[in-house]
Amino acid sequence: VAALKAWGVKRVFGVPGGSVLAVIEALSQEGIEFVLVKHENNGALMASAYAQLTGRPGVCLATGGPGTVNLLNGLTHAYMDRVPLLAITGQFAESTVPLITHQRLDQRQLLAPVVKWSARVDGENVDGVIDKALRIAVSDRPGPVHLDIAGNVAMSTVKGTFSHRPLQSSGGPPDPEACARARELLQQAKRPVIVAGLGALWDRAHDALLELVEGLRCPVMVTPKAKGVIPADHPQFAGVVGLGMEVDDLLLEVLRQGDLILAVGYDPVEVVGSWYRPWSVPTIHIDTLPNIDGFYGAEVELVGGIRACLTALRPTIRPAAEDWQGRAEILRRELRKHFAASIAACPQGVSPYQLMLALSQALPRETLVTCDVGAHKILACQVWPTFAPGAFLVSNGLSTMGFSLPAAIAARLHDPERPLLCLSGDGGLGMVLGELETAARLGLGFPIILFVDGSLSLIKVKQEERGYAAVGVDFSTPDWAGIATSFGARGVKTDSIETCLEETLVAIKERRLTLIEVTIDPSEYRQQM
């Protein structure tokens, strides 16, 4: 706990159990808040969102056996979304393991495929192990680590004293020869395109990226996790890549028309399929790691701190060809036309696109949005305008349903004042419904927009595309507003965008936990996917 405090950890999310009671007591004594959640998976999702918002490792805690098993999905999300996370799990005493059967399993082996490192803690090694674990978690690529601790060990006396060694930044400059070649390519290019990804977000490189964009005056595309590294209203913002939507062809065409691609912190874990592989356009790879995925070929690799790499290119930056400087605006116009056409084809019920558009126009610019996974996620990733890095939280590498409510709870705990909006589908909310009690118990107020269609619409669209019957995707619609009320929240049911806007603005202003149930027309998704 002293180590966690030294690393700036203020909250630990989880569910208690007998083997971790001593850890929870230590957290309390050191002033670190233990946040009780309804399910360990949700605790891991909250810790992940908290890490994304704070830039420090998130921490979740579970007891042994079923508690550890329940962490798997949340840890996999952290692993694939590159989130620095520490999972602490309880375990039986080493001496009793050979003789016990109840709830016994090899927890380190269970979690090994979805963590960067795992160790068993005892009084002899805790000083070095905890520091090593956290350093591994935050180093490139960031990800989850795991520590197993037996109940009797947790209550034992530590030998030695703890000392915290600050982590030194690895964001050094790139290789000079690679820089020279990259500058040469930039000087020759007339139609460059920038694709910015998750790495640019974690490296806090948005300011340097914006300077590059201002100099080149070329289109910039981002991956879903990188939304906001370039403000959505910037003239060169060209949309979100890799969503698996029909409009992907419009973005792909811009990439094909370009004569140089700058992949800035681009991580292919975010891309649905391989829809633009291989790129035939020359590419400059700019990241803290080499181009180890091989998702695209790179003429040059600038490996180092992303900010340092972008700064090294600055002296040779010159504007793109004059006709290319307006290409992003043309693309945005084409995207709007596409979505307008999908609305015209589906006139019945509330349009998900129009609802998101109205909400985004009415809410404050600084609003932080947490978005769940489903058909509405793919739409929101493309059309929701994000103006600052880290202002749009979504599970994308794993794309796990049930993310948005736990993420919103973590966001509200981190910043009680910032406008906050939670977007969820009825399928995703059903998986984490108990966390409404968590939000209400903690006194956390924010609006939840619930897209209700009584179906797993994204999967249903895929069934229809293949000519399959709609089997296993439809479900009944309960009284969501009434359920919210039973948890102590305000529940609203409406089929009016105007009413939804009014209730959302009131919930934000008054910081009132409010679930707004909106029945939408899912047929619009068929025109967009």
> Could you tell me the pLDDT band of residue 89, with boundaries at 50, 70 and 90?
very high
- pLDDT at residue 359 in the model: 96
What is the CB neighbour count within 10 angstroms for residue 510? Answer: 10
Cα 476-528-390 angle, rounded to 5 deg: 85
Whether residue 306 has pLDDT greater than 90: yes
**pLDDT tens digits for 57-68?**
999 999 999 999
* Mean pLDDT score, 366-381: 94
Q: What is the distance of C-alpha 35 from the center of its chain?
A: 20
- The pLDDT mean for the chain works out to 90
**Residues 363-396 as b or e (16 or more Cβ within 10 Å = b):** beeebbbbbbbbbbbbbbbbbbbbbbbbbbbbbb
Is pLDDT larger for residue 278 or for residue 149?
149
The single residue listed with the structure tokens 């909400």 is 359
DSSP single-letter state for residue 270? G
Task: List the alpha helices (DSSP H) in 70-175.
Answer: 72-80, 107-111, 126-138, 151-154
- pLDDT at residue 122 in the model: 84
**pLDDT tens digits for 397-430?**
999 999 999 999 999 999 999 999 999 999 999 9
> Could you tell me the pLDDT band of residue 457, with boundaries at 50, 70 and 90?
confident
Is pLDDT larger for residue 528 or for residue 132?
132
CA distance 80 to 385: 24
Whether 500 contacts 488, CB under 8 Å = no
pTM of the model: 0.93
**Sign of the CA dihedral with 52 first, then 53, 58, and 61 last:** negative
**Residues of the chain above pLDDT 90, percent:** 70
**pLDDT tens digits for 132-175?**
999 999 998 999 999 999 878 888 877 766 667 766 666 678 89
Q: Say which amino acid occupies 377.
A: K
Region for 104 from its dihedrals, namely left if φ exceeds 0, alpha if ψ lies in -120 to 50, beta otherwise: beta
